[in-house]
Amino acid sequence: MSSTKAELRISYLANRKALSADELNRRNALLLTRFIDFVQQQTQTRSLQLVHTFLPIRRQNEVDTWPLIHWLWQYGVSTAVSVTDTETNQLMHYPLTADTVLTENKWGIPEPVIQAQPTIDPTAIDMVLVPLLAFDRQGHRVGYGKGYYDRFLASCRPDCLTVGLSLFESVERITDVSDTDVPLSHCLTPSATVLR
C-alpha cells in the first residue's frame, strides 16, 4: 500500500499512542535484542566508536532508546545526542554520558544542558539511530515533518550507518518523497532487519 507522509503521520501517531504499556514494553524488548545482534554483526567488519541516538519522547510512545544506550556503553561505544537550534533549524551534537544533565525542550525531547563543551562534528559519527513514525521498503521515512534529521544525515560521512528504529513494520511505498529526503541504510523493527 502506498501513502503520503501526511496520511502516514496521522495513522502511525494514532497507532503508536494506542499501544498498551505491556505491548510497548514487549516491542521495545524485541528491538533491543535485534539492535544488539545488528551492532555485533556490524562490528565484525567496521569500527563503531561513536553512535548518535535520539532520546525518547515518552508522551509520544517513541522507541525507548535508553536500554540500547546502556548496552552501547557496556560494549565500549560512546554516544552522542542533539540539541535543537530552532533559530538555524539545525541539530547541534554533544556527548551523552551517564553524568549528562538533561532537560526537556518544548516538544518534550530530552536534551543535554549545554555548558561549555564543544560540539561533535557529524563526520565523527559512525552510526545514527533515527526516530521515525513510519518507513517504506526503499528506506524513506516519515518523521514529524520539520526536516531536522534529513539536514543532519546529509552532513554525515557516506559510510555512516543510518538506522531507523520502528515499533511497526514497513509500508510498501511513501509516495511524496522529496529530493532533500535522505534514505536510511537500515531499519530495525521488533521482527525484522530491513536493508535498503
- pLDDT tens digits, one per residue of 90-105: 899 999 999 999 999 8
Lowest mean pLDDT among 21-35, 38-52, 62-76, 79-93: 79-93
Cα 45 to its chain centre, rounded Å, is: 22
Predicted local distance difference test score (pLDDT) of residue 1: 65
Mean of the per-residue pLDDT values of the chain:
93
Cα separation, 59 vs 48, whole angstroms: 31
Q: Which of these, 49, 26, 36, lies nearest to 125 by C-alpha position?
A: 49
* Euclidean distance between CA atoms 150 and 156, whole angstroms: 10
In the prediction, which pLDDT does 75 show? 97
Q: What is the mean pLDDT of residues 15-28?
A: 96
The Cα 196–Cα 190 span in angstroms is: 17
- C-alpha span between 11 and 15 (Å, rounded): 6
Do the Cβ atoms of 50 and 77 come closer than 8 Å? Answer: yes
pLDDT digits (tens, 9 = 90+) for 121-166: 999 999 999 999 999 999 999 988 778 999 999 999 999 999 999 9
What pLDDT score was predicted for residue 89? 83
pLDDT, residue 157, reads 96
- % of the chain exceeding 70 in pLDDT: 99
Whether the full predicted model's pTM is greater than 0.85, yes or no, is yes
Q: What is the mean pLDDT of residues 61-71?
A: 97
Fold of the CATH domain 2-195: Rossmann fold (3.40.50)
Residue pair 172/149 in contact by the 8 Å Cβ criterion = no
- Feature table: binding site for ATP: 5-9, 141-149
Question: What is the arithmetic mean of pLDDT over 11-27?
Answer: 96
Annotated binding site: 5-9, 55, 62, 141-149
Report whether 127 contacts 48 (CB < 8 A).
yes
Annotated binding site for substrate: 55, 62
Per-domain residue ranges for the chain?
2-195
